[in-house]
Amino acid sequence: MLSQSEIEGFMEEATVVPQPVIKAQDLNLVFGSGDNAVHALKNVNLTINKGDFVSFIGPSGCGKTTFLRCIAALEQPTGGTLSVNGMTPDEARQARAYGYVFQHAGLYPWRTIAKNIKLPLEIMGYDKAEQERRVAEVLKLVELEQFGQKFPWQLSGGMQQRASIARALAFDADILLMDEPFGALDEIVRDHLNEQLLQLWARTDKTIGFVTHSIPEAVYLSTKIVVMSPRPGRIHEIIDSPLPKERPLDIRDSAEFIEIAHRVREGLRAGHAHD
Amino acid sequence: MKTFLSVLTVVAGIIGIWYLACVPMNIKGVLDAAERAGAVVEPATPKARRDLGAMGLVVNNSFAIADVWSVDRPRLPAPHQVAIELWETTVEKKITSKRSLIYHGQVTLSATLLGFAIGTGLGILLAVGIVHSKVMDMSVMPWAIVSQTIPIIALAPMIIVVLYSIGVQGLLPKAIIAAYLSFFPVVVGMVKGLRSPDHMQVDLLKTYSANTAQGFWKLRLPSSMPYLFASLKIGIAASLVGAIVGELPTGAVAGFGARLLAGSYYGQTVQIWSALFAAAILAALLVALLGLVERFLLRRMGVTT
């Protein structure tokens, strides 16, 4: 017999049971064959739950971008299984499961910001009124309301990247995949965008996969940090962050933050030692 | 202002060289005429003059230099002669006159524009096919290149004869020759332009599961515009050349080509030169017009130039 309190304990646990959104099992990806074969991903096992903010960090060639591209069905794994929302990555893409943000904003220069954000909506066949509504909504979300009618070259790099995030948000996918989105921006702009991204994440409850080179960025943003190492590309360590969801910028001076950053750095160093 | 001045300097230089060149080119004709008129020239016989060479004649007969710029049928007409002829045959002649360059120009222009339209349409279609189909890429492109290695002057009569034998004559054969020259730059430019989007832009569309048609209309076609216009400018000039060449072998009665041909039959060099200049001016106008369209379109596409 269970006591009342024990049952309640179970119930409580049941409500926080994590829902896996992305699940990789023994994922392998080999480019080329024979002597020229490159093992881009080797035996990658990872589960990303709903609402997670997962950063992938590691040196060049560790497969972090490749893994993100596998989730997006831009690369085809050569072995293992990968499911997104319980579907294959291809099906998930058809079902508009994710928005993808590239390293460069990649806005079409011949379209205004609003029209750039409309691009996925046009392709996905939303009607005109709905397009307008969503564009206005996401422009507000990234604080670019005043810039809808501007052309990309009229905006700074940081604003362009925000517009590209708005574009990825426009069709309201549950998953946001970001491949070093702030890599090309300067430190101050990057801090600001990191802060905004966290707020956006808190408001929208999306699951985010985030590739980065920067340890502070990974630690500041993530609930889960995946440290990867190269040749062959693989997961070296997965660090769950104990930091609270509410994170002001100065959390980066706290002892906890420094402790996690230290662990990430150690992990990166150990991963490199295999070379 | 600075560019205007430098352009003017170059033009003045060319005209200067041109006037100078008229002296040795025309001196023999001037002396022959002077001898017939009873003047004393050195040397006295036409044969001796032929052996002496142009520079020797100029040195020996400096009195005749003043006349080299006003010969009736010069070997090399002076710039002002060409300019006057141009003025008389465009502004002063009625457009319906067979001697009006406007009349001839409009005949050539219609063949040029039709040929340009055919060539551009064909070029764009081929480029779209080449970009989207590996088979077309491998099969069409080599032929397109080979087609341009055949001298058009050799091909033009054949095209005209073949088309005539199946009952096609008039504007269309000329337009086809014009199209033959103008489709190639369009194919090359459009293939390059349609392939100009980078991997990231293509991947972005892939993440939206966009189909090929959407990729074409929303990404490839807009990206190709600057390339297209560069090609169109080459294409329309080539088209004009094609139309003129197409007028030569038929003994056409109208058009710049006919004008050139008639000029060469009757030794009317002034007429040949003015037809050449008229063709060049027409080509410049057409290219400039395309430039205007390009600027308008690219400005609408948010590109500042």
Q: For residue B118, report the phi and psi dihedrals to the nearest 5 degrees.
A: -65, -50
Q: CB distance B302–A111 less than 8 Å?
A: yes
Average pLDDT over residues B281-298: 93
Put simply, the answer to whether B209 touches A109 (Cβ < 8 Å) is no
What pLDDT, on the 0 to 100 scale, is given for residue B277? 93
Q: Which residues in chain B have their CB less than 8 angstroms from residue A99's CB?
A: 207
pLDDT of residue A10: 55
Range of the domain at B7: 2-76
- The answer on B20 and B116 residing in a single domain is no
Q: Do B207 and A99 touch (CB under 8 A)?
A: yes
CATH architecture of A19-97+173-186+197-234: 3-Layer(aba) Sandwich (3.40)
Distance (Å, whole) CA B235 – CA B216: 23
Q: Are residues B59 and B138 in the same domain?
A: no
In a domain, B57, yes or no: yes
Same structural domain for residues B54 and B114? Answer: no
pLDDT in tens, B182-222: 999 999 999 999 999 988 899 999 999 889 999 999 999 99
Whichever domain contains B163, its CATH number is 1.10.3720.10
- Beta carbon pairs, A and B, within 8 Å: 52
Examine residue B94 and state whether it is found in any structural domain, yes or no: no
Residue B119 has pLDDT above 90, yes or no: yes
Same structural domain, B67 and B114: no
Q: Across residues A139-149, what is the average pLDDT?
A: 89
B146, part of any domain: yes
Average pLDDT of every residue of chain A: 85
Q: Check CB contact of A102 with chain B, cutoff 8 Å.
A: yes
B123 and B210 both lie in a single domain: yes
Contact (CB<8Å) B208/A120: yes
Q: Residue A81 contacts by C-beta under 8 Å, 6 or more apart in sequence? A: A23, A24, A25, A26, A27
Under DSSP, is residue B152 helix (H, G, I), strand (E, B) or coil? helix
Residue whose entry in the numeric block shows the structure tokens 């801090």:
A191
B88 domain residue, yes or no: no
Q: How far apart are CA A109 and CA A274, in angstroms?
A: 44
What pLDDT score was predicted for residue A211?
94
pLDDT at position B255 over 80: yes
Judgement on whether residues B123 and B67 belong to the same structural domain of the protein: no
Is B29 inside any structural domain? Answer: yes
pLDDT band for position A9 (50/70/90)?
Answer: low
Tell me the residues of B at the A interface, defined by beta carbons under 8 Å apart: 200-201, 203-210, 214, 218-219, 222, 225, 301-304
Residue B82 lies in a domain: no
Question: Does one domain contain both B62 and B133?
Answer: no
Residue B259, token pair as written in the block:
């004008």
B46 or B280, higher pLDDT = B280
Contact at CB, A153 and B218, closer than 8 angstroms: no
Same domain assignment for residues B157 and B258? yes
* pLDDT > 80? residue A12: no
SS3 percent helix, strand, coil of chain A, rounded to 5, is: 45, 25, 30
CA dihedral over A139, A145, A151, A155, signed as positive or negative: negative
Distance CA B156, CA B177 (A): 6
Quick check: B204 and A98 CB within 8 A?
no
ipTM of the complex: 0.83
Nearest to B207 among A93, A122, A152 (CB): A93
Average pLDDT on B31-51 reads 82
Q: Is residue B81 assigned to a domain?
A: no
Q: Are residues B64 and B196 in the same domain?
A: no
- Tell me: pLDDT of A196 over 90: no
Which chain B residue has the Cα nearest residue A173?
B208
Q: Which residue(s) pair with A30 in the sheet?
A: A39
What residues does each domain of chain A span?
A: 19-97+173-186+197-234, 107-172
Using CB atoms, pick whichever of B203, B204, B208 lies closest to residue A124: B208
Domains of chain B: total: 2
Pair of tokens at residue B39? 């003047």
Residues B37 and B156 in one domain: no
